[in-house]
């Protein structure tokens, strides 16, 4: 997918794989559409349209939000686990892409290697949406932006601090924040930093937007003066064997009341969920008055509906 110019106000027929391909103008258009759909959720803009949803990783928010979103827009979604497809018996991604393209109007995939989503998009003749890969989670980042906009009113001058693993959520969040002109700091333990190729891309974007981009091993330094503190689980899906090691390595990276005190007094806490209370975040914070995690989770629905509408209409 090629970068879109300000004159292109539609994503119609385009893939959505990383957020790198979208400029701020189009992201604003998506957020405006999401806000409108949140106020008036039921319409028939996608009547007769079908979304195939391939799940190689299980999900709560991704599955339900896409399925409910298609229904609310008048369309239909098909849940396809890897065991439901011939992918599970060795059919190539290319063949699967070509077959599904003849049946449906778009494909959403939630998988492990990002290369799988990219290969699917390369061979499909319908738009492909990245519902999550090990490298990126752009649908989550759209919901995050919508939530930040609702909480803070604007993006200008805001600082977002992510504390934890430099994973797919961190990658897409930093891309989203820097594209919208926000400052972004990532605090992670040594050995758990963000991917260097993603950092290189984001640094190039920050030069254009003027956003401050910082990487540190100090959660306190990251949290200082932040408008938003963000965290994710320390052990993601597929990393279960590393759980005990990660618990030890991430000591000191918990978001708790003490760390929240380093942020601005009106700071909010965000988390992509599911959360492990008393690991990456305390119950006091995630269930407290500064938390907006369930508003954020709901916004997955509205942001993805806007995405679907702009891709398929």
Q: Report whether 59 belongs to an annotated binding site.
A: yes
pLDDT at position 69 is 98
What separation in angstroms does the CA of 99 have from each of 95, 103, 179, 290? Answer: 6, 7, 35, 47
pLDDT at position 83 is 82
Of 302, 312, 281, nearest to 139 by C-alpha is: 302
Q: Which of 114, 171, 271, 300 is catalytic?
A: 300
Annotated active-site residue 165? The verdict is no
Q: Which of 232, 271, 290, 296 is catalytic?
A: 232
Structure tokens at 89: 């018996």
Q: Report whether 239 belongs to an annotated binding site.
A: no
Annotated active-site residue 302? The verdict is no
> pTM to 2 decimals?
0.94
Per-residue pLDDT of the chain (313 residues; tens, 9 = 90+): 333 344 445 799 999 999 999 999 999 999 999 999 999 999 999 999 999 999 999 899 999 999 999 999 999 999 999 888 887 678 999 999 999 999 999 999 999 999 999 999 999 999 999 999 999 999 999 999 999 999 999 999 999 999 999 999 999 999 999 999 999 999 999 999 999 999 999 999 999 999 999 999 999 999 999 999 999 999 876 777 788 999 999 999 999 999 999 999 999 999 999 999 999 999 999 999 999 999 999 999 999 999 999 999 9
Q: Report whether 149 belongs to an annotated binding site.
A: no
Q: Which of 137, 246, 268, 302 is catalytic?
A: 137
Cβ atoms within 10 Å, residue 293: 21
What separation in angstroms does the CA of 43 have from each of 9, 78, 79, 309? Answer: 21, 19, 22, 11
Return phi, psi of residue 209, to 5°.
-95, -15
Annotated active-site residue 137? The verdict is yes
Annotated active-site residue 110? The verdict is yes
Annotated active-site residue 300? The verdict is yes
Q: Report whether 84 belongs to an annotated binding site.
A: no
**Cβ pair 34, 299 in contact under 8 A:** yes
């Amino acid at each position: 997918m090629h970068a879109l110019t300000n004159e292109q106000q539609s994503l119609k027929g385009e893939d959505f794989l990383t957020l790198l391909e979208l400029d701020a103008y189009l992201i604003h258009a998506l957020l405006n559409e999401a806000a409108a759909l949140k106020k008036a959720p039921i319409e028939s803009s996608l009547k007769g349209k079908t979304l195939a949803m391939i799940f190689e990783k299980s999900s709560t928010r991704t599955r339900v939000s896409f399925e409910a979103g298609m229904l609310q827009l008048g369309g239909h979604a098909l849940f396809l686990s890897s065991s439901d497809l011939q992918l599970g018996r060795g059919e190539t991604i290319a063949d699967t892409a070509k077959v599904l393209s003849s049946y449906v109007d778009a494909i959403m995939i939630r998988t492990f290697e990002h290369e799988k989503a990219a290969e699917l998009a390369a061979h499909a003749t319908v738009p492909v949406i990245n519902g999550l890969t090990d490298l990126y989670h752009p649908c989550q980042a759209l919901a995050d932006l919508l939530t930040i906009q609702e909480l803070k009113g604007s993006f200008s001058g805001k600082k977002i601090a992510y504390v934890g693993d430099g994973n797919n959520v961190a990658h897409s969040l930093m891309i989203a924040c820097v594209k919208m002109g926000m400052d972004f700091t990532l605090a992670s333990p040594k050995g758990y930093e963000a991917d260097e190729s993603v950092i290189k891309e984001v640094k190039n974007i920050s030069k254009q937007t003027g956003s401050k981009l910082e990487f540190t091993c100090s959660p306190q330094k990251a949290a200082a003066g932040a408008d938003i503190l963000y965290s994710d689980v320390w052990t993601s899906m597929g990393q279960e064997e590393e759980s005990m090691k990660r618990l030890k390595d991430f000591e000191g990276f918990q978001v708790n009341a003490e760390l929240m005190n380093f942020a601005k007094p009106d700071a909010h806490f965000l988390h992509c969920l599911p959360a492990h209370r008393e690991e990456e975040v305390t119950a006091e914070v995630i269930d407290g008055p500064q938390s907006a995690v369930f508003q954020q989770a709901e916004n997955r629905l509205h942001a993805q509906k806007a995405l679907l509408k702009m891709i398929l209409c």
